[in-house]
Chain A
Amino acid sequence: MKRLIVILAALLSFGTAFAAAQEEAASPNDVNISQVVFEHVGDSYEWHFFNTRDGRSVAMYLPVIVRTRDGQWHFFSSRHLLHGEGAEYQGLHIAAEGQPHAGKIVQADGSRPLDISITKNVLSLLMSSILLVVIVLLTARWYRRHDSLKEAPKGLAALMEPLVCMVNDMAKDNIGPDYRRYSPYLLTAFLFILLNNFMGIIPVFPGGANLTGNIACTLVLALFTFFTVNLTGTKHYYKEMINPEVPVYLKPIMAPIEIFSAIVKPLSLTIRLFANMLAGHIQILCMVCIIFIMAKYGGMMLAGMGAVSVIFGIFLDVLEMLISFIQAYIFTMLSSIYIGLARVKE
């Protein structure tokens, strides 16, 4: 198992290095680290694989779905917008660096249309969601076909059971007797985050999209928790929030604080997961970039620093795997605690 992890980590860092190496081939003179890093952690309208030696990029072009301000729907491949700088198609183009909405599709006048394009992150989201549904339904099928009292789970079920048990027990501990209503949500959130975190570390397709390091993704997850907490709270929970049992002169202070805290909770969930995953990705990318910076300083430098950054890259990759799990765990744990707090009876 230990050997497997090492091999996996080595493959991961090698893959990352490989991807970055190809990226750099296009601009051999100077390495613009921040551009490389932000290209890798950001969203895009294509799924870029690598550049060929003569500078052509090999990428998967994704569908653009846009509704312009005049109510017109546009549906076309992103190929039309990505060929050449400032390419325009059906009156739309991608805003250049330095302009507002840089990197996004804008109309001719620079304003943003309604954009629900299938971007890299959306495609990654779709694929990992299908994978998650397949995994869980296959696991459920095992339990449907086997008597759990007579057989120990095998294969996929054996892999999933500890995770499911862990989250289920967490729900039981933090929420109390009616945890059954909430455990499916917590399980979905946990496995969704965990799977997408892991997919984010895998440097090659279908991984490599930075979905859980994207604030939109974590914001939606946190909002699901927020609505779960605040739409299913007990009477006592709302009373505590609006009219807490404190001396009268504290009431005008306490109510805003309580409401503020209810709003800040999902924000903290959003930013914690987003920032942790983003930071992890940036760290690994920086480690890999060191190799390309050192390339300018000759063979000895490249060999020495290359070895160091590969070792650190492996370390960070393994750390990232740990953080992937921890962040999924923390998000679920805090969600269950918030739900538990909203289920107070007395």
Chain B
Amino acid sequence: MNLITPDGGLLFWMVVIFAIVFFLLAKFGFPIITQAVEKRSDRIADSLVKADEVEKRVAQMDVEHSRMLEETRKEQAKMLKEASEARDLILEKAKADAAEETARMIEHARMQIEADRRSAEADMRRQVAMLSVEVAEKVLRKTLSSSSEQSALIDRLVDEAAKTAEKPQS
């Protein structure tokens, strides 16, 4: 039948025209289009990979960030603790120093007071002695105005002297 017998003329033209169309399109048409399209799809694939990488990096940075934050917080706590410890130490030491100093000063003051007391005592003694000598002198002068009294005194003194001389013997 007509329909299923290929016609020679159409076969000929089909070969010629399809070959020309193929040549033209394969040379000037499709390579340009496919290259452009592939360039773009490569770019898109690349971008996707890059975006993925960036996302991963961001996630990593997030982890890093929170880790650093945690570390900083720990550091801070540690430093605070250390500071308070140091403060306590310094306070303690200051207290101890102060106590020591006070004690030392008190001791010094006491010794000073003692020394002053001693010198004052000695002074007083000396003055008392001098006063008593003077008093004695004045008394003597008054009482020895008569000769009888002078001799009475001499006697008493001699007695006294004698008594003191006897005493070590007894």
Task: Tell me how far the C-beta of A260 lies from the nearest C-beta in chain B, rounded to whole angstroms.
Answer: 21
A184–B3 contact, CB under 8 A?
no
Nearest to B7 among chain A residues (CB) is A216
A132 vs B25: C-alpha distance in the bound complex, in angstroms? 9
A125–B31 contact, CB under 8 A?
no
A-B contact pairs, 10 of them (CB 8 A): A42-B2, A115-B9, A126-B17, A133-B21, A133-B29, A143-B37, A184-B30, A188-B25, A219-B11, A220-B18
A137 neighbours in B (Cβ, 8 Å): 24-25, 28-29
The reply to whether the CB of A332 lies closer than 8 angstroms to some CB of chain B is no
The reply to whether the CB of A333 lies closer than 8 angstroms to some CB of chain B is no
The reply to whether the CB of A129 lies closer than 8 angstroms to some CB of chain B is yes
Residues of A in contact with B, size category: 35 or more
A43 vs B7: C-alpha distance in the bound complex, in angstroms? 9
B22–A185 contact, CB under 8 A?
yes
| Contact A140-B3, Cβ < 8 Å, known A121-B10, A125-B13 | no
Task: Tell me how far the C-beta of B92 lies from the nearest C-beta in chain A, rounded to whole angstroms.
Answer: 74
The reply to whether the CB of A144 lies closer than 8 angstroms to some CB of chain B is yes
Task: Tell me how far the C-beta of B105 lies from the nearest C-beta in chain A, rounded to whole angstroms.
Answer: 89
A185–B26 contact, CB under 8 A?
yes
The reply to whether the CB of A168 lies closer than 8 angstroms to some CB of chain B is yes
The reply to whether the CB of B126 lies closer than 8 angstroms to some CB of chain A is no
For A34-49 the 0/1 string (1 means CB < 8 A from B) is 0000100111000000
The reply to whether the CB of A289 lies closer than 8 angstroms to some CB of chain B is no
Task: Tell me how far the C-beta of B150 lies from the nearest C-beta in chain A, rounded to whole angstroms.
Answer: 148
B12 neighbours in A (Cβ, 8 Å): 116
The reply to whether the CB of B145 lies closer than 8 angstroms to some CB of chain A is no
The reply to whether the CB of A334 lies closer than 8 angstroms to some CB of chain B is no
A286 neighbours in B (Cβ, 8 Å): none
A-B pair count, CB < 8 Å, reads 130
Pick from B25, B40, B41: contact of A187, CB under 8 Å: B25
| Contact A149-B13, Cβ < 8 Å, known A184-B30, A188-B26 | no
A143–B33 contact, CB under 8 A?
yes
Count of interface residues, chain B, beta-carbon cutoff 8 Å? 37
A188–B2 contact, CB under 8 A?
no
The reply to whether the CB of A221 lies closer than 8 angstroms to some CB of chain B is yes
The reply to whether the CB of B124 lies closer than 8 angstroms to some CB of chain A is no
Binds B, one of A157-165, A200-208, A301-309, A322-330: A157-165
Nearest to B31 among chain A residues (CB) is A184
A164 vs B36: C-alpha distance in the bound complex, in angstroms? 11
A102 neighbours in B (Cβ, 8 Å): 2
A217–B10 contact, CB under 8 A?
yes
B30–A119 contact, CB under 8 A?
no
B10–A224 contact, CB under 8 A?
no
The reply to whether the CB of B169 lies closer than 8 angstroms to some CB of chain A is no
A104 vs B9: C-alpha distance in the bound complex, in angstroms? 11
Task: Tell me how far the C-beta of B82 lies from the nearest C-beta in chain A, rounded to whole angstroms.
Answer: 59
The reply to whether the CB of A148 lies closer than 8 angstroms to some CB of chain B is yes
| Contact A183-B34, Cβ < 8 Å, known A215-B3, A220-B18 | yes
A136–B29 contact, CB under 8 A?
yes
The reply to whether the CB of A214 lies closer than 8 angstroms to some CB of chain B is yes
